[in-house]
Amino acid sequence: MESRLGLGSSFFLFFPIMKEQVQHKHEKTNESQKNSHESNVLLVEDQKEVLQLAKKILQHLGYGVVAAENGHEAISIVKEGSQQIDCVLTDLSMPGMDGWETIASLKDMNSEIPVILASGYDEMTLAQDKKRKDPDAFIQKPYQMAELKTALRQIMS
């Protein structure tokens, strides 16, 4: 630092040269945006607030989202076939058609479609359910973005 009365001050900063390339946060965001809408997730959730939040999380992670408020609507979307569905994220407890029935119907239509089951019940409790149709992954509600991201990567790879 140099300072002269009436002339002002000058500051000199010296930084060491780095050998490694540093990836900035905005580069990660651009990578996520690059994958945006390459994979569509069918989101099945009967609670509107949870549906909207999960939709925002999925979009933030770079996925396209097709939303259904119940199992019957999800089945109709898949039968219609107008939208590409690469993965399903479904709630377990829904009126009318629960998550087990939704998974079974979806797997009957396309056995290759990966499904994530989300529930407030723990996985051990669900394992005892006689209606169980094994999902490809399970996440317990309330789930965090990192947990959902991990489950999606696991079943989409």
Calpha distance 133→155 (Å, rounded): 16
Q: What pTM was computed for the model?
A: 0.73
pLDDT level of residue 125 (50, 70, 90 thresholds): low
Give 154 or 122, the one with higher predicted confidence: 154
CB 138 within 8 A of CB 148: no
Alpha helices (runs of H) in the chain, residue ranges in sequence order: 25-34, 48-60, 71-80, 99-109, 123-127, 145-156
Share of the chain above pLDDT 90, in %: 58
CB 87 within 8 A of CB 156: yes
Domain annotation for the chain: domains and CATH numbers: 39-143 (3.40.50.2300)
Calpha distance 55→67 (Å, rounded): 8
Identify the pLDDT of residue 114.
96
Calpha distance 94→121 (Å, rounded): 13
Mean pLDDT, residues 8-29: 65
Calpha distance 22→119 (Å, rounded): 39
